[in-house]
Amino acid sequence: MRATNGHVPRPRFHFTPQRNWMNDPNGLVYDRGLWHLYFQYNPEGADWGNMSWGHATSADLRHWTEHEVALRYRDGEQIFSGSVVATPVASAAGSASAGADSADDETLLTAFYTSAYDDDHQAQSRAISRDGGYTWEPDSQNPVLDRGTSAFRDPKVIRFTDDDGTTRYVMLTVEADDRQVLFYSSSDLRSWQFLSSFGPLGDTGVVWECPDLVPLAVDGDPDDTRWVLLLSTNPVGDDPDAAGSSMSYIIGAFDGVSFTPDASELTRLDHGRDFYAGVTFDSAPDGEAVMLGWMSNWRYAGAFPSSPWRGAMSLPRRMSLRTVAGTVRLVQQPVGFVGELLAGAVPSTVSGASRLADFTLSGHSLVELEWDPASTGTLRLQLRGDADALVELSHEPSSNELSVTRSGAAMEAVHPDFPSTSTVALPGEGDRPLRLLVSLDGPLLEVFANDGEATVSNLVVLGVGPVSSTLTIERPGPVAVTVADVHSPEVGRRALELDGANR
Ligand code: FRU
């Protein structure tokens, strides 16, 4: 067993940059068959700095091709987080019709990002791309939205259609230190009028970052659509919470001017330690809300021992609202390719004594477990690689709590606050059948409980090579186990080099 692990396997079905530092997803947009992912990127090193927008595209959200840096920092100005909207060229300067439905083959992409100036001043800037997102022209009038403040950032532009059918753009930004979301409106993506603000609310001692606002139908009913505000919060100050950064949401109503929450508190969006800055794609097919998050935590992001890359995106997640045990909850399910990988695998049902099964995973694996806690009692899944580390998932029927623990010397070596136990109370009584989807892709562990009713996302360091899994239950009972391994790395250097050579 190795106490520390100098090598972290590169994920195979998640996006990582070929090299250097990455944090938030930026400018997520679907345009003419391609998903564009821009991201906070340091073109020059493996630590945060020189912030620019890196760029990658995918036709299926699984295989990504990395491109040249899209928006580069310059002397005195870094390019912080923001968003992109796609508009048909003809209407780009006029009305704000939805780009996704357009049959036009010309699209204008407009990016909004935060200019973070060296004098501690942050304001919103704009750039356009006429070649489908590969090259960008910053606006000569930048910054286009400026309050003269120092933590005004993360513009996310969404669309809002009035009762009379007129669609306008709405920009959400934060005054991060004030824990406020500010809303602005525009009909031409050029001039922005202040609408309203939301917050502060919830924990003090945090900054608010990367807002998004997403309309979602409750239980698929288009006549019952609610607006879900997404927020990322990062502890700051003298005694910051050691659990570090995390995401929350709050369900409410949005009338095109202001957001009115249904509740007085934020709800945790993901119960692990490593899901941050999640935002949705503009113009996704069928109006679906597809989100990507950054799988790390500001508490220790700079200490994570992967190389020559640092930072990974989560699985793309489709969001919806579902009534569970009488409460409307945000549900997150991985997009289609994950189910397709699992559908190609043969389920086996194991039952019997307490130590139910031992199986070996490639370490780039999807594991689905289905069982009835009322008959099996506590269930545990332990994962071990060649590092001195353990990941343990457990479900306790009496409390209906799901826990994910990462422990051992290799986890401690990452950062003193890296070892952790994340616990989430699943909705309901704990006596209904349970389904867990466990995605492990190198250092990225994501657990989806009951088709996305709760998620737990964590970085882990298990070492290189295969991962041995042990499944135990308290009382004899059947557990259906399906395992799909992804054997070969499918996000390759070759794609990047070919792409670089082509451009
Ligand atoms: C969130 C964040 C954003 C900012 C960016 C800078 O992780 O702090 O608020 O725009 O990262 O890299």
Q: Are residues 95 and 182 in the same domain?
A: yes
- pLDDT computed for residue 488 by the predictor: 63
Q: Residue 342 CB: number of other CB atoms within 10 A?
A: 18
- pLDDT computed for residue 431 by the predictor: 76
Element (H, E) at 343: helix 336-343
In this predicted model, what pLDDT tens digit does every residue of 276-308 receive, in sequence order?
999 999 999 999 999 999 999 999 999 999 999
Number of structural domains in the chain? 2
User: Which of 445, 453, 442 is closest to 420 using CA atoms?
Assistant: 445
Q: Are residues 122 and 221 in the same domain?
A: yes
Nearest CA to ligand 1 atom 8: 209
Q: Which of 31, 66, 154, 209 is catalytic?
A: 209
Q: Are residues 371 and 324 in the same domain?
A: no
In this predicted model, what pLDDT tens digit does every residue of 484-501 receive, in sequence order?
998 765 433 333 333 333
CATH of the domain at 352: 2.60.120.560
H-state helical runs in 271-372: 336-343
Q: Are residues 323 and 389 in the same domain?
A: no
In this predicted model, what pLDDT tens digit does every residue of 133-161 receive, in sequence order?
999 999 999 999 999 999 999 999 999 99
Q: Are residues 194 and 279 in the same domain?
A: yes
Q: What 3-state class would DSSP assign to 288?
A: coil
Q: Are residues 319 and 387 in the same domain?
A: no
What's the 176 CA to ligand 1 centre distance in angstroms? 10
Mean residue pLDDT across the chain: 92
Q: Are residues 329 and 439 in the same domain?
A: no
- pLDDT computed for residue 446 by the predictor: 98
- pLDDT computed for residue 490 by the predictor: 46
Residue 3 has pLDDT above 70, yes or no: no
What's the distance, CA 34 to chain centroid?
Answer: 18
Q: Which residue has the higher pLDDT, 349 or 148?
A: 148
What's the 265 CA to ligand 1 centre distance in angstroms? 23
Q: Which residue has the higher pLDDT, 360 or 356?
A: 360
Nearest atom, ligand 1, residue 245 CA:
7
Residue 354 has pLDDT above 60, yes or no: yes
What's the 177 CA to ligand 1 centre distance in angstroms? 13
In this predicted model, what pLDDT tens digit does every residue of 437-449 receive, in sequence order?
999 999 999 999 9
Q: How far apart are CA 458 and CA 423, in angstroms?
A: 12
Q: Are residues 188 and 291 in the same domain?
A: yes
Contacts of 186 (CB under 8 A, 6+ apart): 96, 168, 169, 170, 171, 192, 193
Q: Are residues 274 and 355 in the same domain?
A: no
Tell me the one-letter amino acid at 27. G
CATH of the domain at 145: 2.115.10.20
| Burial (CB count <10 Å: 0-12, 13-18, 19+), residue 123 | buried
In this predicted model, what pLDDT tens digit does every residue of 168-213 receive, in sequence order?
999 999 999 999 999 999 999 999 999 999 999 999 999 999 999 9
- pLDDT computed for residue 220 by the predictor: 97
Q: How far is CA 310 from CA 40, 87, 102, 429, 474, in A?
A: 12, 33, 37, 40, 39
**Which of 269, 301, 334 is the endpoint of a domain?**
334
- Catalytic residue flag (residue 209): yes
Per the domain annotation, does 299 fall within a domain? yes
Nearest atom, ligand 1, residue 294 CA:
7
Q: How far apart are CA 180 and CA 275, in angstroms?
A: 21
Nearest atom, ligand 1, residue 207 CA:
9
Per the domain annotation, does 503 fall within a domain? no
Per the domain annotation, does 410 fall within a domain? yes
Nearest atom, ligand 1, residue 81 CA:
10
Per the domain annotation, does 340 fall within a domain? no
- The average pLDDT across 330-335 equals 98
In this predicted model, what pLDDT tens digit does every residue of 47-94 receive, in sequence order?
999 999 999 999 999 999 999 999 999 999 999 999 999 999 865 444
Per the domain annotation, does 500 fall within a domain? no
Residues in the chain: 503
Q: Are residues 24 and 165 in the same domain?
A: yes
What's the 252 CA to ligand 1 centre distance in angstroms? 25
What's the 213 CA to ligand 1 centre distance in angstroms? 18
Q: Are residues 117 and 198 in the same domain?
A: yes
- The average pLDDT across 313-337 equals 97
Confidence of residue 5 (pLDDT cuts 50, 70, 90): very low
Residue 240 tokens, joined: 């910051």
- What percent of the chain shows pLDDT beyond 70? 92
Q: How far is CA 181 from CA 153, 157, 343, 459, 461, in A?
A: 10, 13, 41, 29, 36
Q: How far apart are CA 116 and CA 182, in angstroms?
A: 18
Per the domain annotation, does 339 fall within a domain? no
Nearest CA to ligand 1 atom 9: 209
Residue span of the structural domain in which 412 resides:
345-493
Question: Is residue 78 within 8 Å of 354, Cβ to Cβ?
Answer: no
In this predicted model, what pLDDT tens digit does every residue of 99-122 receive, in sequence order?
444 445 789 999 999 999 999 999
- pLDDT computed for residue 353 by the predictor: 66
- What percent of the chain shows pLDDT beyond 90? 86
Residue 303 tokens, joined: 């200490």
In this predicted model, what pLDDT tens digit does every residue of 382-401 receive, in sequence order?
999 999 999 999 999 999 99
- pLDDT computed for residue 406 by the predictor: 98
* Substitution site in 210, 276, 295 for ligand 1 pocket (most atoms within 8 Å of beta carbon): 210
- The average pLDDT across 356-373 equals 92
Q: Are residues 114 and 151 in the same domain?
A: yes
**Which of 302, 334, 366 is the endpoint of a domain?**
334
Per the domain annotation, does 329 fall within a domain? yes
What's the 284 CA to ligand 1 centre distance in angstroms? 24
Q: How far apart are CA 153 and CA 172, in angstroms?
A: 9
* Substitution site in 24, 41, 232 for ligand 1 pocket (most atoms within 8 Å of beta carbon): 24
Opening angle at CA 370, ends 364 and 372, nearest 5: 150
Which residues line ligand 1 at a C-beta cut-off of 6 Å? 23-24, 40, 51, 80-81, 114, 153-154, 209-210, 276-277
In this predicted model, what pLDDT tens digit does every residue of 219-229 receive, in sequence order?
999 999 999 99
**Which of 293, 314, 334 is the endpoint of a domain?**
334
Residue 96 has pLDDT above 90, yes or no: no
- Catalytic residue flag (residue 497): no
Per the domain annotation, does 440 fall within a domain? yes
In the block, tokens 């640092």 appear at 310
